[in-house]
Amino acid sequence: MPILLFYFLAALTLGFGLMVVTARNPVTCALSLAMSFVGLAALFISLDAYFIGTIQILVYAGAVMVLFLFIIMLLDIQVESDKKPNLAAVIGGIVLAAVLAVQVATISSSLSLGDKTTSDVALTLQKVGTEMATGKGNLPTISNDLKAGTLPDAKLMGLTLFKQYGFHLQVIGLLLLVGTVGVVVLSKREKEVAR
C-alpha cells in the first residue's frame, strides 16, 4: 500500500476519533464515529482482511451508528448544557491517554516482529493453492482462487469459522438471541404497580 494512503487513512480514523471525544453536539459525535469506522475499515482492507473490513462497515458504520442516532433523536438530547466540563476528569483523561499511548509506543518499538513490512511477509498464494489442490480435503473453490493469485478471504474465513469454531458460532448465535430478548424486556414499559 502506498505510504501516503496509510497516513491519510490513519489521519481520517484518528481525526474523526478526536472529534467524537471533543464535539459538544451528540449528533456530530455519532457521525464522526461513523467516519472514523469507515477509515478503520479501510485500514482492515489494507491488511488483506476484506471480509472483516466489509463487516466493520456493515455492522458498525451501518447498524450500530443508526441505533445510536435513533436513540439520540428519540431522547431528543440537546447540545450539552453550558456547564463547564469537569476539569479534574478532563485532565485525568488526557494524562491517562498520554501515558497509555507512550506505553504502547515503547512496547511496540521493542517488538521483534514490529519492523516487518507487508512485503517481508508476502502471501504466497499460488504456492499454497497448488499445495492445497494436491493435499487431502481439497476444496476446489478455494484452491482454484488461490492458484489464480487472488485471496478468497470470505471463503477462508467461512472455512475457519465452520471448521474450527462451529461451537463458538452457535454460542454467539445464542448470545444474540439472549440480547434480543433482554432488549425487549428492558424497553417494555413497566405496568404501574400500586405502591
Partner 1 sequence: MITLNHYLIVSGALFALGLAGVVARRNIIIIYMCLEMMLSAANLTLVAFSRFHMVEGLPDYSAQALVFFTITVAAAEVAVGLAIIVALFRSKQSVEVEAVSKLQG
Q: All 3 cell numbers of residue 98?
A: 498520554
Q: Does 175 bind partner 1 (CB under 8 A)?
A: yes
- Name which of residues 31 to 70 contact partner 1 (CB under 8 A): 33, 36-37, 40, 43-44, 47-49, 51-52, 55-56, 59-60, 63-64, 67-68
Name every residue whose Cβ is closer than 8 Å to that of residue 113 and which is 6 or more positions away in sequence: none
Name every residue whose Cβ is closer than 8 Å to that of residue 141 and which is 6 or more positions away in sequence: 152, 155
Q: Which is nearer to partner 1, 148 or 176 (CB)?
A: 176
Q: Does 101 bind partner 1 (CB under 8 A)?
A: yes
Reduced to 3 states (helix: H, G, I; strand: E, B; else coil), residue 2 is: coil
- CA nearest to 32, candidates 12, 4, 52, 48: 12
Q: All 3 cell numbers of residue 77?
A: 438530547
Q: Which of 57, 133, 139, 157 binds partner 1 (CB under 8 A)?
A: 157
Q: Does 182 bind partner 1 (CB under 8 A)?
A: yes
Q: Which is nearer to partner 1, 128 or 139 (CB)?
A: 128
- Name which of residues 6 to 35 contact partner 1 (CB under 8 A): 6, 10, 13-14, 17-18, 20-21, 26, 29-30, 33
- Name which of residues 79 to 98 contact partner 1 (CB under 8 A): 80, 85-86, 89-90, 92-94, 96-98
Amino acid at 101: A
Q: Which is nearer to partner 1, 52 or 133 (CB)?
A: 52
With CB under 8 A as the rule, give the number of residues binding partner 1.
Answer: 88
> Closest approach of Cβ 140 to partner 1, in Å?
17
Alpha-carbon distance 5 to 42, whole Å? 10
Q: Which of 8, 138, 141, 165 binds partner 1 (CB under 8 A)?
A: 165
Q: All 3 cell numbers of residue 191?
A: 405496568
Amino acid at 115: D
Q: In this structure, what are the phi and psi dihedrals at residue 24, rounded to the nearest 5 degrees?
A: -95, -25
Reduced to 3 states (helix: H, G, I; strand: E, B; else coil), residue 112 is: coil
> Closest approach of Cβ 116 to partner 1, in Å?
6
